[in-house]
Structure 1
Amino acid sequence: MKGDQKRVLVVGATGYVGRHIVARLHEDGYRVRAVVRDEERALAPGAYGAPALAERVDEWVVARGGRADVDAAVMSDVDHVVSALGVTRQKADPWEIDFLLNLRYLELAEEERVDSFLYVGVMNAATGTSMVSRSKHAFMEALRRADVGPQIVNPSGYFSDLTEIFDLARRGMAFGLGDGHVRLSPIHGADLAEFCVSRLRAGAGTWDVGGPEALSYREIVQMAFDAAGRKPRYVRVPGALASSAVWAADRLSPRAGSLTRFFLEGMQTDSVGVPFGTRTLRDYFASLSDQLQRSAERGGRSRTAP
């Protein structure tokens, strides 16, 4: 087996990327120790087609809280650490999770002298002004200085994130900043997991990675409308209005403001990584359309059943 029964600790195992990483590690013969907050939830399939962790995890660690809930035993006999831990839409403080909680695992990894610590970050974190970007960048800098074989993988963006574009297209209207010329190369979670696992034996390094295609935002929107079978309608949002959206979100909560700023900044900066994988965004959107059609058909049959 490729893994030679090396033990890999996966932090953030129940997120979209974490689930795919666990599945890939299991397939490649590694021994997987997964950190989760809810084991029962982990056994079920995740959002956006992410796999269930049932029968893919060898050792479970349930850590329900923050840093105080993580003790040295989690790192016992671990060879590699992979962290996909981070805040996106969760009700949590990015600094507490993306930086401080990751830092706790890094400190324990250094004490145990693990072979490598791989972190799934994000492209352009160094130039981002949101607390999400700043927290991720702060941890990347700490990891680069650590004595653990630091590895940083920065994806351009996930197919799962672009599900919202498809949902807008189904409703007949999509929004974007400016003319939509910004380019990115989104990647499927399974392809990103394959890339991450392939890095475990590669030594220290930082990699910007994307899917097989580099696309403009307008091209992505067009694909979404094609899959939804709707006539394209693209609404350009002025930069001033985007700033107002951040202000309004800040009024709701600092977390909401930070996440809004993070996603809006991502729509203004090119994020194109080294191409990797075979799964295309067009096929992903088509699969979403197929799922909706099957769901509608099931709903129609249930209404007409005697």
Structure 2
Amino acid sequence: MIAKRVLVAGATGYLGQYLVKELKKRGYWVRVLIRKESQKEKFDNVDDFYIGQVTEPSSSKDVAKNIDWIFSTIGITRQKDGMTYMNVDYQGNLNLLKEALKNKAAAFQYISAINGDRLRHLKIFEAKEKFVDELKNAAISHSVIRPNGFFSDMKDFLDMARGGRVYLFGEGNLQLNPIHGEDLAKVCVDKMETGETETTVGGPDILSHNEIAALALKAWGKPIKISHLPDWTRRLTIQLTRTFTSSKTYGPIEFFLTAMACDNIANQYGNKRLEDFFSSEVKRIKANN
């Protein structure tokens, strides 16, 4: 059987790099979309490079030529350059979708985030979910992946714990199950292969904020010291950042602080543990100091 020809957009990002490795491991022919020549050195075994900007249709013409499947992790966190969420998360992905349709690609997978469909009022999700609507209405097989927080996002806990104390909003009992990028990449490819149209994806361990804080402190060898801030401070922070900063600044803060106020439990996958990730990160940090 001839291997599918796959395009990965957002390939230089955290998840994108794991996706490329997983696809190559499974024998797929892989083209990566990158923005500049120097980014080629991030990859050692891809089949084809396409240098272009999805926000500029003329520079990404025929990026999906002779491609069967497209995986897109494109989002503003991976591309700054003065762009807005609508420029990148919506229009950039829409331009990519138009190329996929023009070149008759078979399927398109988009990585959004857990609860994005319920939190459209947040700036970071407004553009993402507008694109999800376009994808679902397009004449192409689609797959929407909604991951929980990445292990890399949990570094905020680790950074606080380094000082010997972690600060949490509320009582710290709300739960989530973050996932490692390598585990998530496997799920993304699995879901594309099986044709699943939409799913939430999280890691194997469901943890409360208190438990994550304790794991972070333990990784540094610190006593468990956790301070709980009243929830009004979280709400006030959102209000102040919305009022006094740009959408690029307040968008991620608004999302993070809103997510901290509810349970975020996704379907459980993978076998990588947050405790092990924290331990390896601390070792890496100490080795580099």
Name the counterpart of 2:27. Answer: 29
Name the counterpart of 2:239. Answer: 247
Name the counterpart of 2:92. Answer: 101
Q: Which of 244, 247, 259 matches 2:252?
A: 259
> Residues 84 and 216 of structure 1: is their aligned pair in 2 closer, same or farther, counting only changes over 3 Å?
same
User: How far 1:247 moved relative to its partner?
Assistant: 3.4
User: Counterpart of 1:106 in structure 2: which amino acid?
Assistant: L
Name the counterpart of 1:5. Answer: 3
1:279 aligns to 2:268 (yes or no):
no
Q: Which of 101, 105, 121 matches 1:110?
A: 101
In 1, Cα distance between the equivalents of 2:177 and 2:157? 15
Q: Which of 197, 218, 228 matches 2:220?
A: 228
In 2, Cα distance between the equivalents of 1:88 and 1:235? 29
Q: Which of 64, 67, 70 matches 1:75?
A: 64
In 1, Cα distance between the equivalents of 2:239 and 2:141? 40
User: How far 1:180 moved relative to its partner?
Assistant: 1.4
1:160 aligns to 2:152 (yes or no):
yes
Given that residues 177 and 205 in structure 2 are in contact (C-alpha distance below 8 angstroms), is that contact kept between their aligned partners in structure 1? yes
User: How far 1:42 moved relative to its partner?
Assistant: 4.6
User: How far 1:64 moved relative to its partner?
Assistant: 4.2
- 1:249-291, CA deviations, whole angstroms, 9 ceiling, x for partnerless residues? 3313221112210111111122211111111000000101111
Given that residues 143 and 150 in structure 1 are in contact (C-alpha distance below 8 angstroms), is that contact kept between their aligned partners in structure 2? yes
Provide structure 1 residue ranges, at least 5 long, that are not aligned to the other structure.
44-51, 297-306
Name the counterpart of 2:12. Answer: 14
1:212 aligns to 2:204 (yes or no):
yes
- 1:93-125, CA deviations, whole angstroms, 9 ceiling, x for partnerless residues? 112111111111112212222111011110011
Q: Which moved more, 1:199-208 or 1:211-220?
A: 199-208
User: How far 1:293 moved relative to its partner?
Assistant: 2.8
Q: Which moved more, 1:155-164 or 1:244-253?
A: 244-253
Q: Which moved more, 1:183-192 or 1:166-175?
A: 166-175
Given that residues 53 and 59 in structure 2 are in contact (C-alpha distance below 8 angstroms), is that contact kept between their aligned partners in structure 1? no
User: Counterpart of 1:139 in structure 2: which amino acid?
Assistant: F
Given that residues 114 and 146 in structure 2 are in contact (C-alpha distance below 8 angstroms), is that contact kept between their aligned partners in structure 1? yes
User: How far 1:90 moved relative to its partner?
Assistant: 5.2
In 1, Cα distance between the equivalents of 2:61 and 2:162? 48
User: How far 1:71 moved relative to its partner?
Assistant: 3.5
Q: Which of 288, 291, 294 matches 2:281?
A: 288
User: How far 1:199 moved relative to its partner?
Assistant: 1.8
Given that residues 54 and 95 in structure 2 are in contact (C-alpha distance below 8 angstroms), is that contact kept between their aligned partners in structure 1? no
> Residues 18 and 216 of structure 1: is their aligned pair in 2 closer, same or farther, counting only changes over 3 Å?
same
User: What TM-score do the two structures reach when normalised by structure 1?
Assistant: 0.88
User: How far 1:81 moved relative to its partner?
Assistant: 0.2
In 2, Cα distance between the equivalents of 1:37 and 1:80? 20
Q: Which of 47, 56, 63 matches 1:58?
A: 47
Corresponding residue pairs, total: 285
Name the counterpart of 2:115. Answer: 124
Name the counterpart of 1:173. Answer: 165
Instruction: Give secondary structure in 2 for the equivalent of 1:235.
Output: strand
1:135-150 paired onto structure 2 within 5 Å: 135-150=127-142
Name the counterpart of 1:304. Answer: none
Instruction: Give secondary structure in 2 for the equivalent of 1:154.
Output: strand
> Residues 65 and 199 of structure 1: is their aligned pair in 2 closer, same or farther, counting only changes over 3 Å?
closer
In 1, Cα distance between the equivalents of 2:16 and 2:164? 33
1:196 aligns to 2:188 (yes or no):
yes
User: How far 1:157 moved relative to its partner?
Assistant: 1.1
Q: Percent identity?
A: 31
In 2, Cα distance between the equivalents of 1:289 and 1:260? 25
Given that residues 57 and 95 in structure 2 are in contact (C-alpha distance below 8 angstroms), is that contact kept between their aligned partners in structure 1? no
Given that residues 116 and 125 in structure 2 are in contact (C-alpha distance below 8 angstroms), is that contact kept between their aligned partners in structure 1? yes
Instruction: Give secondary structure in 1 for the equivalent of 2:211.
Output: helix
> Residues 30 and 68 of structure 1: is their aligned pair in 2 closer, same or farther, counting only changes over 3 Å?
same
In 2, Cα distance between the equivalents of 1:140 and 1:222? 36
User: How far 1:69 moved relative to its partner?
Assistant: 4.3
Instruction: Give secondary structure in 2 for the equivalent of 1:75.
Output: coil
The root-mean-square deviation of aligned C-alpha atoms, in Å, is: 1.8
